[in-house]
Structure 1
């Protein structure tokens, strides 16, 4: 054991200084790399959340535009379908003429896409839309 201590004493002080300096600089480097990685991970998390938010906003905007177009088509089809019956009530047409117009109009619009978009993305609109449907059909 004493030989070991003798060996340590025989090492020049400049070597000890170099060893301590290397140890200190590598420790500081590791701390710096760790802090840099932590900051990068935080920045990437913030960036990912921002991109996710932008993508969600784009999706909602696209679905709102699609809902607007589809509901407009649906409402136009409903109004076109029921318009002859209003004219019957006003005495401008007979009921048979209104039925003929309804048959000839070929009511082809399917409102299922409107309902699908509302149920998936905007369920809060379903009650209001049902009220508008009811108002148009009466």
Structure 2
């Protein structure tokens, strides 16, 4: 079946100015205003009072808990060094000369160094420099 010719642009383009004018000419639907009875007004004031009381209680509790929270988090965020990991000495890092077959073992060796000395390799820049010093031949260019 041969392809049918299709227009790139539609034949009729609606004019946005005409659309807006037709929408504006339509009557606006107005909803009747709600009549608030004294009972509804009483319920609204009771709800507002309860919400205000809850907010004040929340603020008071939060102000009491806030001074205690930093002391708890300070202790948990400090790095703890295990006595075993501080005693382990890693062997010299392997050199990488660009052989694809040795890439995974080289990267595993580098990751072992990064894991074993987190205080030395805090920044990515330090890791890059360390890896760069262990590249040989074509891998270093």
Q: Which has the higher contact order (CA 8 A, sep 6+)?
A: 1
> TM-score range with shorter-chain normalisation?
under 0.3
Q: TM-score, normalised by structure 1?
A: 0.27
Q: What TM-score comes out, normalization by structure 2 length?
A: 0.26
Give the number of the structure whose alpha-carbon radius of gyration is greater: 1
